[in-house]
Chain A
Amino acid sequence: MAVQPEKTETLVGMAILALLVVIAAGILMRQSRYDPQWFTMSRSEHEIPQAAGELSHLQELLPDGWVPLTPLETFSPENLSDKINGKAELYLAAGFQKLESQRFKRSDQDDSWLELFVFDMGSTRNAFAVFSTQRRTGSTPVDLTRHAYQTENALFFVHGRDYVEVIAAEEGLADEMLAIGRNFVERKPVQSDELSEQSLFPRKNLNAESIALLASDAFGFSRLNNIFTAKYNIAGQEMRAFLSVRPSGADAQQLAEAYHAFLLENGGSDVDSGTNLPEIKLIEIFDLYELIFVHGRVLAGVHEAESKDAALELGLTLYRELQEVDESQ
């Protein structure tokens, strides 16, 4: 037998339905006037408001005789591309969190200026990734932090979780840039910025300045992330060794197999390594050689060696190095 609703229930029900109709009408009205530009932060919104004469904390790093040219700007992952356009992807893939930047000039010279960029990358590892993948060849190492160099017009370094760039509009400002760098480092004490993987590369034939961390898409393979690489020169041939410490041995093995399959799918073919180490895979692809192996949790290998012998020489050296590290622990 049906139960008739009470009058109060009916009224409440009607009120809810009326409210829903009003909400739906509101949504329809708003949607009909939707403009994505309204949902794009304006420049003034993503900049930290800075009152005239107010000191930014970056300004405190300046040597004497330098003053702000423009206000402090702050960018988040959502609007980093408003500052560095297409290069934003590089930072975002490496874990970028925040950028603060500001331009400064000599107080008596308007056209003598530089810009300071402080990228908060969330960790030393992430900061090293963007530092190392952009490292300029032929640059001069600087005794500022473990990872620091300068070029004719710029200074680049990693300090803790920050990747810092000081870029001048002219040559000849090396001292001023270094002064800013030193002030930055002194005012912000950090833990050691040593990355353990760096010490796993064999020293022989190594170009120590070439060690880089590829945060993602290493060697064109989308699953190959967090890969350290280092350049070697063996008998006049340049090639790269690579290694990556994975969460588990099984993960390393799985990734090695996936990378191996990727190479074969893209025109590579297996080559007999001639070693008695079955875990070593040697692949010839486009007249170059790739070598892959797994040692414990470490996926390692050689990338783009010009000859089989060179690939094997570097690959076996790396293999033995990892064995020695294991035995010493």
Chain B
Amino acid sequence: MNRREFLSRTLRAGVLAAAAGSLSYWLYDGRGPGPDSTAQGNLVVLPDFSVPELSGRMSVITGADRIRTVDMGLKAVGGIEAFIRKGDGVLIKVNAAFASPPILGATTNPQLVSHVATLCRKAGASSVVVTDNPINDPQSCFTLSGIGDAARSAGARLMLPTGSSFAPTTVPHGKLIRDWPLLHAPFQGVNKVIGIAPVKDHHRSGASMIMKNWYGLLGGQRNIFHQNINDIILELAMMVKPTLVILDGTTSMMTNGPTGGSLSDLKQTRCMIVSTDQVAADACGASLLGKRAADLPFILKAQNAGLGTADYESLNPAREAVG
């Protein structure tokens, strides 16, 4: 090989390498894989379910009887009729994450679900859907937690997730929830959303309350979000703007959350929080766990994103004690 041929071959090799590199760069998707790139034109976005004229309402009711405290709590924020009107389609997002018995407090209390669903129907709701995409097998979770029977007994429709229940969503301005499967089918015909969650310690985020509970609306391999727990909770709160939230601190899971396992993980904190501000509800719930809002970064992030206030006292919550 002579010098001229060497240079010529080197040049051709260089051009080939540059072409291959350029092609790779052109094909590179820096955003990463979505759930179904063919459905990008069919992204769903949840509407705003809040009632603007009822914003900033909150009640904190003390007592051991959930039915009485939630009744009082709802009355103090205007009554269920202020939120649910005749013909409304209501979705109740519960925490049915685990196939765990009600006494362990890892899931939403079934009596509370039944009662709120009944109130919605009495207020004129045309349909009430109870749903969640649990961590464990959905059938077992709804059966063993007692939520399935509770929902049915109240005339609500129980919707367990199936493969066709999901549609891709992207949270506007979100960095994590992009083209990600959302449990969307239960939202068909729904114009009001109520979140009901227990107060729990959480090994990763420090607490699992209202905002963390929206995690059960995600599908796919969502456990990857645990590496970025505070940001995913923030984006969940950005994704769901509920009509009303009910944070059940009648019994709080103080340790070993989110699963618990022992009755000794629980404490009778005797508190029911009803609010239209999910950030305020979580901030108040944090105090039941002996924490401040400042101890839980996701609360401050949500406040900074304009989703509500961590200074729940500024809402002048109605306070009552029953029993």
Contact = CB atoms under 8 A, between A and B. Distances in A.
Interface of A: 1-2, 28, 32-37, 39-40, 43, 70, 81-90, 103, 113, 134, 136-139, 151-154, 156, 165, 167, 169-171
Nearest to A155: B262
Interface in B82-116: 97-99, 101, 103-104
**Which 9 pairs, one residue from A and one from B, show the smallest C-beta to C-beta distance?**
A169-B101, A86-B204, A81-B223, A136-B264, A151-B262, A40-B221, A151-B264, A154-B262, A152-B263
Given A32-B37, A81-B226, A86-B208, 20 more contacts: A33-B38, A34-B33, A36-B34, A37-B35, A37-B219, A82-B136, A83-B135, A85-B98, A85-B258, A85-B259, A86-B257, A103-B99, A103-B144, A138-B264, A151-B263, A151-B264, A152-B262, A152-B264, A167-B261, A169-B144
Task: Find the residue from B34, B208, B264 having the highest chain A CB count within 10 A.
Answer: B264
Residues of A contacting B: mostly: mixed
B5 interface: yes
Given A37-B181, A86-B208, A170 B103 contact: yes
Residues of B contacting A: mostly: loop
A7 B1 CA distance: 20
Interface residues of B, number: 43
Nearest to A27: B27
Contact of B264 (A2, A87, A139): A139
B265 A136 contact: yes
Given A85-B97, A86-B202, A165-B261, A37 B220 contact: yes
B263 A36 contact: no
Interface in B243-274: 255-259, 261-265
B137 interface: yes
B140 to A, nearest CB: 6
B291 interface: no
Contact of B257 (A32, A39, A87, A139): A87
B67 interface: no
27 contacts: A2-B2, A32-B37, A40-B221, A43-B137, A70-B99, A81-B135, A82-B135, A85-B97, A85-B223, A86-B203, A87-B257, A89-B226, A134-B255, A136-B264, A139-B264, A151-B263, A153-B103, A153-B262, A154-B261, A154-B263, A156-B262, A167-B104, A167-B262, A169-B101, A169-B103, A170-B103, A171-B263
